[in-house]
Amino acid sequence: MNIALPTHQAPPKPLFSYKKYWAQRFGTAPFLPMSREEMDVLGWDACDIIIVTGDAYVDHPSFGMAIIGRLLEAQGFRVGIISQPDWQNPDSFKKLGAPKLFWGITGGNMDSMVNRYTSDRRLRHNDSYTPGGEGGKRPDRSVIVYAQRCREAFKDVPIVLGGIESSLRRIAHYDYWSDKVRRSVLVDSKADILLYGNAERAVVEVAHRYAKGQKAADMDDVRGVAILKSAVPDGYVEAKADDIEASDEGAKQTKDGEKVVVRLPAFEQVEKDPELYARASRVLHRESNPGNARPLVQKHGERELWVTPPPIPISTPEMDGVYELPYARAPHPSYGDQKIPAWEMIRFSVTIMRGCFGGCSFCSITEHEGRVIQSRSEGSILQEIEKIRDKTEGFTGIISDIGGPTANMYRLACKDKAIETKCRKPSCVYPDVCPNLNTNHDSLIQLYRKARAIPGIKKVMVASGVRYDLAVKSPAYVKELVTHHVGGYLKIAPEHTEAGPLSKMMKPGIGAYDKFKQMFDQAAKAAGKEYFLIPYFIAAHPGTTDEDMMNLALWLKRNKYRADQVQTFLPSPMAISTAMYHSGKNPLKPVRRGASEQVDTIKGLKQRRLHKAFLRYHDAENWPLLRDALKRMGRADLIGPGKHQLIPSWQPAGTGNSGGEGKRMGKKHRGQAFLTKGVAEPRRPKN
């Protein structure tokens, strides 16, 4: 993978080309140390860098702290890990001593608030990234709390923020759980520098600069970072959000070589003005292409939050190098026999790519990993499968997943690098697949064939979500997928059936799903298999009406789907849908005072529950709520025993405050109310 750069931008320094730090003499640790005893065995008097994480330490490339830790180790640094410390006790942050260079702080593989609370703001009592699945082992807003404790432990040591929680909160952002706009997490944490996105390039550069004695203020030329300044540096021309909004090209024209910084509305403005918040969101997302993005600046009080352009995606050789680092491929031994659910889920899976050009407005993948697909080489992937076969305890010959954020974007990219460099579209596949997008799945088909041909491999599953509007462009891929890589069911995410919400989600119409289902069923029949598609849907997304949810429920019933688990829209930080939810405006279109497109949002708990109830129309507990809604909507004709009707007029005993009504209906009808069809619900696809 190579991305074309503007002529004034120098190519990035290769990831593994830096002169190694002097501590390389200590060699490679079997696990990055979590105690002084382990440091003593390694011969270390101190750590150069200590990573504090909200996750259990699993030394595997599916866990962020392992990737960053091993990458820094490969640069010659001594890296320690403090995993899930007691955040109420500063002494928990002193157990490895003071790091010589900096603290690296991450909330973990998930935003700590998303990890801890449901979309209804209810407390979750489990945590897949904690031994035993126990909840409550990390604080709310972990990055902020950990930074405070690190500062208390050793006040003069620089603090570097990273991970998805920092990445999605790098500018002023709407916070669903407090229902207000919060400052950049860099400001609230009082850290020195923030790294966003997949930060391999940035963290290596920052580490070597700290090793040379530089300060965070000297690092405003490193891509993919945010720092605080007292003022915009001399020599920059400011392009304001108003100017950008007035031009489809993204800003007023500037001369070649002219240094431009894009000014976002200040925190104090977006905090009070939802329409300005929507405008800031639109500008941020239009400045996300590494080929043409410019620095952003946003005032927070008297200081300027300076956000450099996104990092240049890593190349295939660099990505191979990252995934081939000497991971132990296991949880740290200190956990003993405790099970870590996230590890149990991924230990037999292989990541083949990163990024997503789908641009779904509710999803955080694009905001964090970017739209440019970064793919590993075929050889590196096959080598990892062999490592799983030979070294992972409990392996039975089945690779549980070969994919990434999306199953079928491996090696897909824009056909023209010059066009890719200039493009500011938020999606390559909405409203239709871009004619400049290469949709050839041949490389992926060949990879599948070679993976399942490895001796000792019985089955290679595809559990990542399939982007079906791409899959239908390659009938050969659909045939290959269904014939060899499906195990009973395949999960996909149409998200809705109605044009209104789909247009706000940037998802294809349900016709694309119908076409894929036809191809899927034909391939399954030809293979002599009985397979099922498991579609996922979102309730209460901005732009969704009660009628939209009713029509979706009718579609589900016609197609004999009964969803066991459903998702209510959760406004995650920085997503476009979150800006819609907060502002009632549509950032997918120009946001201009008094002329912005309005978006109906579903904020009341009662309406959110109603939308969720439509997805579970078959659950008798929801029937009273649905009956009231259908009558209010003038659709009482959908209440009754007919096949064309949605719910019955009677209520089973003991459900929905029935008061015994079901007893009068007899056992036959009560039994029919709970007939279900389908298979157990798998985990939700990421796309």
Q: What is the 3-state secondary structure (H, E, C) of 49-63?
A: EEEEECCCCEECCCC
The tokens of 406 are what?
Answer: 């999306």
Q: Are strands 330-331 and 79-83 parallel, antiparallel or unpaired?
A: unpaired
> Cβ(425)–Cβ(374) under 8 Å?
no
DSSP, collapsed to helix, strand or coil, labels residue 311 as coil
Residue 216 pLDDT greater than 80, yes or no: yes
**Helix runs in 157-247, H state only:** 163-167, 185-189, 200-211, 241-245
Kindly indicate the confidence band of residue 511, based on its pLDDT and cuts at 50, 70 and 90.
Answer: very high
pLDDT, tens digit, for every residue of 45-56? 999 999 999 999
What pLDDT, on the 0 to 100 scale, is given for residue 481?
Answer: 98
Q: How many CB atoms lie within 10 A of CB 413?
A: 21
pLDDT, tens digit, for every residue of 385-408? 999 999 999 999 999 999 999 999
Class of domain 348-485: alpha beta
Burial status of residue 149 (CB atoms within 10 A of its CB: 0-12, 13-18, 19 or more)? buried
The tokens of 388 are what?
Answer: 């799983």
DSSP 406: S
Q: For domain 7-215+315-340, which CATH number applies: 3.40.190.10, 3.40.50.280, 3.90.1150.10, 2.30.130.10? A: 3.40.50.280
Tell me the HSE value of 561 on the side-chain side, using a 13 A CA sphere.
19
> Cβ(368)–Cβ(354) under 8 Å?
no
Average pLDDT over residues 70-95: 97
pLDDT, tens digit, for every residue of 225-238? 999 999 999 999 99
- Locate tokens 């996922």: which residue? 536
Asked, colleague to colleague, whether 7-215+315-340 and 348-485 share their fold, the answer is no
Closest among 140, 146, 55 to 92, alpha carbons compared: 146
- Locate tokens 């392992």: which residue? 66
Q: How many CB atoms lie within 10 A of CB 202?
A: 24
Strands (E), 311-392: 330-331, 349-351, 353-354, 374-375
pLDDT, tens digit, for every residue of 331-381? 999 999 999 999 999 999 999 999 999 999 999 888 889 999 999 999 999
| Calpha distance 666→447 (Å, rounded) | 57
Percent of the chain exceeding pLDDT 90 equals: 88
Q: How far is CA 77 from CA 27, 201, 416, 503, 676, in A?
A: 10, 15, 39, 48, 56
pLDDT, tens digit, for every residue of 281-302? 999 999 999 999 999 999 999 9
Residue 663 pLDDT greater than 80, yes or no: no
Q: What is the CATH number of domain 486-687?
A: 3.30.750.200
> Cβ(137)–Cβ(92) under 8 Å?
no
Mind giving me the DSSP string for 555-605? HHHHTT---SS-EE----TT-HHHHHHHHSB-TTS---TTTSPB-----SH
What pLDDT, on the 0 to 100 scale, is given for residue 672?
Answer: 28
Closest among 536, 497, 522, 480 to 678, alpha carbons compared: 536
Residue 256 pLDDT greater than 70, yes or no: no
What pLDDT, on the 0 to 100 scale, is given for residue 677?
Answer: 29
DSSP 647: B
pLDDT, tens digit, for every residue of 542-587? 999 999 999 999 999 999 999 877 899 999 999 999 999 999 999 9
What pLDDT, on the 0 to 100 scale, is given for residue 346?
Answer: 96
The tokens of 243 are what?
Answer: 């100017």
> Cβ(558)–Cβ(350) under 8 Å?
no
DSSP, collapsed to helix, strand or coil, labels residue 629 as helix
Residue 600 pLDDT greater than 70, yes or no: yes
DSSP 361: T
What pLDDT, on the 0 to 100 scale, is given for residue 243?
Answer: 65
How many residues does this entry show for the chain?
687
Residue 682 pLDDT greater than 90, yes or no: no
Q: How far is CA 355 from CA 242, 291, 366, 463, 687, in A?
A: 30, 15, 6, 17, 11
Give backbone dihedrals phi and psi of 173, rounded to 5 degrees, phi first: -145, 150
Crossing angle of the two packed helices 274-286 and 576-583, in degrees rounded to 10: 170
Residue 472 neighbours by CB under 8 Å, 6+ apart:
478, 512, 515, 516, 519
Residue 419 pLDDT greater than 60, yes or no: yes
What pLDDT, on the 0 to 100 scale, is given for residue 4?
Answer: 45
| Calpha distance 459→347 (Å, rounded) | 15
Domain ranges within the chain, ordered by starting residue: 7-215+315-340, 348-485, 486-687
CA-based radius of gyration for the chain: 26
| Calpha distance 97→44 (Å, rounded) | 11
DSSP 170: S
Residue 249 pLDDT greater than 70, yes or no: no
Closest among 151, 166, 232, 174 to 202, alpha carbons compared: 166
